Amino acid sequence: MGLTGLMPAFGAAIVNVVVVGGGMAGTTAAKYLKLWGAASGLDVRVTLIDANAAYVSCILSNKVLTGETTLAALTYRYTKLAGLGVTVVQGQVAAVDKANRVVRLADGRTYPYARLILAPGIDFDYSALTIAARGLTADQALAAVPHAWKAGPQTTELRRQLVALTNGNRVVMTIPAAPYRCPPGPYERACAIAGWLKANRPKSKLIVLDANAKIIAEPVNFGKAFSETYRTIIEYYPGVTLKGVTWDSATPKLKTVSLLDAGGAAVTMPAEVVNLIPPQKAGRVAIDTLGPTGLSANGRWALVDEISYESKVFPGIHVIGDAINSKQPKAGHIGNQEAKICADAILRLESGRAPYAAPVTNSACFTPITPTTATWLTAVYRYQTDIDPATGQSLGTKSMQMVSGNPVGVASETPTGASGDNADAMKKWFASLMVDTFG
């Protein structure tokens, strides 16, 4: 091909793209903007900003809880991304000046942009919960009932608490109402914890308190795991409204979990370990930059046109990954695919062309059921006309929707259940995904 096919032409238009967030979506967007930008005729200059020097994968992090892997093994750096020509910046975004198209960091550094991609992932909402411990600050109390829904120190803390668990004492884990990051993830975690308890603390129980009316991902496979594989360990309660967790710091193994059961009755239960996964919302930079007009009615998620992932309210700002309001799941594999659609659309738009009219994504995920077996689920989404379910008429808008072949809103799950072959395939899938993103 020669260098002319790999480099922008002399005098090519300069396009500054700033990506905020170095997770699965943001890193993929930065990578493919550089790879594809070189052949686009544009001089695409990409800056990736993240508060951390490296990314720790949430995918497979449940295996850290069981001692099967480590956070170090799930840590990915931005070295190869920098090698492609991406400017990698470690820093905390303080504000986005939308009028002048400038990102300002907490230390005063500024980065101008023609296009801004926000990929901040999720943040947590404890506003409806009472988490309090006598003798602890509010932050200390939250840390003592870890969500471990961002892989890192809380994962380590939850692992520590499990190892210190008194045999016969309860573990309580909570599942928030959808949408949340990784639909099968909490049920996968329940299996991981239950498997560890079965082998190491067989007298203990895992109480799963689900705010949803039923298992919302892989109901057949997880239903079988709960009722058969871990029937002596797991007690599953759907339709629960969590109210809070209280205790005295002098007796940290005597926590009280308060809730309303599916019938609305007030219930309290003791627990030594509480894995509290709270309700979620878009990461702070998306909320601060887009709110309230650029967010969904509940103020939690970014409103985007999924043909390009550009904000429906603020031109030049795109949002991808877990932070968006979408029928697509909030998960690493789909975030990787959203990023590629976004990168392609930006290059087309900056070249004076329209985005590709019919983008398609595939959501795929493997979920460990035991240390040696796994299941999978998959679904395909296409950008198509929104239909009013009551009338069958067009709403005059388009979005990414699950294609026919899957029941609406339901992904296909492994028809043959958990197996060792699926566990082997899971390792290959994960390795391929991470190479595509960070390699």
| Segment 24-50, tens digit of pLDDT | 999 999 999 999 998 888 999 999 999
DSSP string, 136-180: S-HHHHHHHS----SSSHHHHHHHHHHHTPPTT-EEEEEEPSSS-
pLDDT at 2: 34
Count how many residues are written for the chain.
439
3-123+281-356+434-438 CATH fold: FAD/NAD(P)-binding domain (3.50.50)
User: What is the pLDDT of the chain when averaged over all its residues?
Assistant: 96
Instruction: State which amino acid sits at residue 293.
Output: T
pLDDT at 410: 57
Q: Summarize the confidence of residues 65-82 as an average pLDDT.
A: 98
Long-range contacts at 352-357 (CB < 8 A, ≥ 24 apart): 355/307, 355/308, 356/307, 357/307, 357/383
209-250 confidence digits (pLDDT tens): 999 999 999 999 999 999 999 999 999 999 999 999 999 999
pLDDT band at residue 190 using 50, 70 and 90 as cut-offs: very high
pLDDT band at residue 21 using 50, 70 and 90 as cut-offs: very high
Q: Summarize the confidence of residues 261-268 as an average pLDDT.
A: 99
- Residue range 127-275, CATH number: 3.50.50.60
Q: Which of 223, 218, 225, 230 is nearest to 415 (CA)?
A: 218
Domain(s) labelled CATH 3.50.50.60 in the chain stretch across: 3-123+281-356+434-438, 127-275
Q: Which of 30, 7, 28 is nearest to 18 (CA)?
A: 30
90-121 confidence digits (pLDDT tens): 999 999 999 999 999 999 999 999 999 999 99
33-72 residues labelled b (16+ CB within 10 A) or e (exposed): bbebbbebebbbbbbbbbeeeebbbbbbbbbbbbeeeebe
